[in-house]
Amino acid sequence: MSTGTYPLQALLRLREEICSQRRQALAAALRTLEQAERALDQARQRHASHLEQLQRERGRLLDGAAGEVVRMQRAQSYLTRMESCTEPLQQAVQQAQVRRQDQDRRVQGAREALALAESERKVVEKNREAFDERRRHEALARAEVELEDLIASRRGGA
């Protein structure tokens, strides 16, 4: 490896490492997003199940002997308790949605960081290639001059 390309090689390795880290960060963000989506689905399922149970119980309890005051009071008390459980479940759904949105933003940020790192790596790679090409041309030009000098010295000495 020539000493002129060493800084570019080091920079290229650095850019490649950054790209690798960005890929790993994106993969981790995607895994966390999947977990957030599963948690959101579970919270929604629990909430829907609770609402279905509430509807069934409301129907079952209210279909019975409507004239019985005690039974109606018990039913209302039971339904009130069940309805009080609805709000925490709704809050859990909202919190899961917020976490999922946060993970969406993190995934997007990781994608953008990876794209930037890839772009920077490509710039360094192109600069290295251009530098290597200039070095080859310079070496070829020097070789041609040396060859011409050698031919001229042989002609002059002959």
The CATH number for 138's domain is 1.10.287.1700
Total structural domains within the chain? 1
Q: Give the pLDDT of residue 94.
A: 92
Question: Which residue segment(s) compose the domain that 124 sits in?
Answer: 6-157
Euclidean distance between CA atoms 127 and 16, whole angstroms = 15
Residue 1 within any structural domain of the chain: no
Residue 150 within any structural domain of the chain: yes
Residue whose token pair is 């030009």: 141
Task: State the SS3 of 107-132.
Answer: HHHHHHHHHHHHHHHHHHHHHHHHHH
Residue 101 within any structural domain of the chain: yes
DSSP state of 62: H
Q: Which residues contact 36 (CB under 8 A, 6 or more apart)?
A: 96, 99, 100, 102, 103
Residue 27 within any structural domain of the chain: yes
* CB 92 within 8 Å of CB 67: no
**Can you give the C-alpha Rg of the chain in angstroms?**
36
Q: Give the pLDDT of residue 157.
A: 65
Q: What are the per-10-residue average pLDDT scores of the chain (158 residues)?
A: 68 90 92 90 89 81 59 78 84 90 92 91 90 92 89 79
Q: What's the predicted TM-score (pTM) here?
A: 0.52
Euclidean distance between CA atoms 23 and 46, whole angstroms = 35
